[in-house]
Structures are given as C-alpha cells and as structure tokens.
C-alpha cells in the first residue's frame, strides 16, 4: 500500500471493476468515459446482432441447421421458436449425423455470435481431445443458428445421444461481449427440466479460460454417462 497515499484514487479503483473515480463536469461525466461506456454497449449490441463467420464453422467441419426463428427480432421476442428446429433441419440431422453416440456436441450463436467467433477455436479442439481421452464415441457435431438452450431437447429426441453439450453465446455484458456457456444434459429430450441441465458459464479469455473449460466439460460428461444422470444430484 506504499503508493496508496500518493494515489488514493488508484488504490480505490483496484478493488472493483466498476467504473468509479471517473470525475465530472458539472453533474455530467467526462467525455472519454461517456464515449467508452457507449463503445462497450455498442460492442455488446453488435455481438447480439452479429453472425458467426462461415470460416470458423468450416474449420471444424460444422454444418449449419436453423431453428424456427425467422429473424433476430423474432428470436428475441419468441424464445419458444428458438427451442424448435426447422422441419428441414430435422431431416438433415437424421441423414447426416451418427445416431446414438455417447456424446453429441452442438454449437449455437445464441445471444452472442461474437462469443462463438472468439472462443470456438480454443474450446472445440480441446473439448474433442478431452472427450476422446475418456474413450467416448463422439457424434457428428453441427451448428444451430438462432438456438436457445432448450433446443437440446429436440436434438436429443432425434439423435438419442447419451449426453449432449451445447456451446452457446451468452447475453453480452459491458465487461465482456464474448462470453460463452456450455450446457450439458444426460439423455436430453422432451420433459427435461432446467434443473436437469448443468452449465459452465463465463467462458472467455478473461473469465473461465477456454482450455480449462473444455477439460472440465469432458470430466462432467464422463461422470454423467457413468452415473446415468445430470443435474444437482450428479456426484462430482
């Protein structure tokens, strides 16, 4: 604390990521702080309305299917449509995917395309390695555009995996617009409750590190398959 006397404001600011010690002109904030705040908001909004670059998906051989969502506005207003696959998507999955794997990996933009763009290259290969290390039979991975978390259930009905991992963009905050979550469920399908799903959230470079998250997902999936369950009763 030697320099706290020299710079008391800096010593206060070190304790919180909150935007304190910003000063004022009259009752208003200074220009640089106002513009920084608006810039962070702009990044968050852009990540909601962005799209995941095709290049990233093809890098990992992920083909795309759609939900019943028709537009971003529709996605935001009607979460129920983001839980249901488009009719065409169902037949594509049936044709293109391995049936009844141990684990199915699905990627979706959700509320932040940027989260997938920034984190997939780190998380996806590490996740596959981790699942491989448990000798699990991995299904055919794919991307769902406009998905909600509960789209896991319909995918589960079609492909019958023992366990499913959904990597999905989180609602962006101003601190991070590129945060991803991994939702996991044992035997996803109709009637599954929120409490049956498990989640690792806040996956990004300054949050839960992507590589660490991938290893952790692998461990959880292995335990789910061994204990034949997911949710609060899973012994970790």
Other Cβ atoms closer than 10 A to 87 = 10
| 40 lines the binding site for other proteins (CB under 8 A) | yes
CB of 15 to other proteins, least distance (A): 4
| 4 lines the binding site for other proteins (CB under 8 A) | yes
CA distances to 29, 106, 146, 175, 204 from 153, rounded to whole Å, are 47, 12, 15, 31, 26
* Residue from the set 8, 54, 59, 87 that interacts with other proteins by CB under 8 A: 8
| 18 lines the binding site for other proteins (CB under 8 A) | yes
DSSP 8-state secondary structure symbol assigned to residue 219:
H
Instruction: List Cβ neighbours of 105 (8 Å cut-off, separation of 6 or more).
Output: 124, 127, 128, 131, 138, 139, 141, 164, 165, 167
Taking the least distance from each CB to other proteins, the nearer of 38 and 137 is: 38
| 16 lines the binding site for other proteins (CB under 8 A) | yes
The DSSP annotation for 177-207 comes to S--EEEEEEES--TT--GGG-EEEEEESTTS
Taking the least distance from each CB to other proteins, the nearer of 33 and 102 is: 33
Taking the least distance from each CB to other proteins, the nearer of 74 and 90 is: 74
* Residue from the set 2, 3, 17, 31 that interacts with other proteins by CB under 8 A: 17
| 9 lines the binding site for other proteins (CB under 8 A) | yes
Instruction: Give the number of residues in contact with other proteins, rule: CB under 8 A.
Output: 42
* Residue from the set 32, 41, 137, 205 that interacts with other proteins by CB under 8 A: 41
Residue 37 and residue 87: Cα distance in Å, rounded? Answer: 42
Residue 149 and residue 16: Cα distance in Å, rounded? Answer: 31
Provide the mask over 177-216, with x wherever binding to other proteins is found by CB under 8 A and - wherever it is not. Answer: x---------------------------------------
Phi-psi region of 110 (alpha: psi -120 to 50; beta: other; left: phi over 0): left
* Measured CA angle at 27 (ends 24, 28), to 5 deg: 60
Residue 154 and residue 163: Cα distance in Å, rounded? Answer: 13
* Residue from the set 56, 63, 66, 78 that interacts with other proteins by CB under 8 A: 78
Enumerate binding residues for other proteins (CB under 8 A). Answer: 4-5, 8-9, 11-13, 15-24, 26-29, 33, 37-38, 40-41, 44-45, 48, 73, 76-80, 111, 171-175, 177
């Amino acid at each position: 604390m030697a320099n706290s006397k020299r710079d008391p404001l800096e010593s206060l600011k070190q304790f919180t990521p909150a935007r304190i010690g910003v000063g004022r002109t009259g009752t208003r904030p200074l220009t640089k702080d106002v513009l920084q705040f608006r810039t962070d908001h702009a990044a968050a909004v852009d990540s909601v309305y962005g799209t995941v670059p095709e290049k990233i998906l093809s890098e990992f051989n992920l083909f795309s299917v759609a939900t019943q969502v028709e537009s971003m506005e529709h996605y935001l207003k009607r979460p129920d449509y983001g839980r249901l696959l488009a009719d065409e998507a169902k037949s594509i999955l049936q044709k293109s995917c391995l049936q009844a794997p141990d684990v199915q990996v699905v990627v979706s933009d959700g509320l932040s395309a940027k989260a997938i763009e920034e984190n997939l290259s780190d998380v996806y290969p590490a996740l596959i390695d981790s699942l491989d290390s448990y000798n699990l039979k991995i299904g055919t991975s794919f991307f769902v555009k406009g998905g909600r978390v509960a789209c896991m259930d319909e995918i589960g009905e079609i492909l019958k995996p023992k366990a499913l991992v959904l990597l999905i963009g989180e609602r962006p905050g101003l601190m991070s617009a590129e945060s991803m979550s991994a939702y996991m469920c044992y035997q996803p399908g109709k009637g599954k409750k929120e409490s049956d799903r498990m989640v690792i959230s806040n996956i990004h470079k300054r949050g839960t590190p992507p590589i660490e998250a991938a290893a952790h997902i692998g461990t959880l999936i292995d335990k789910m398959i061994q204990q034949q369950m997911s949710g609060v009763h899973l012994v970790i």
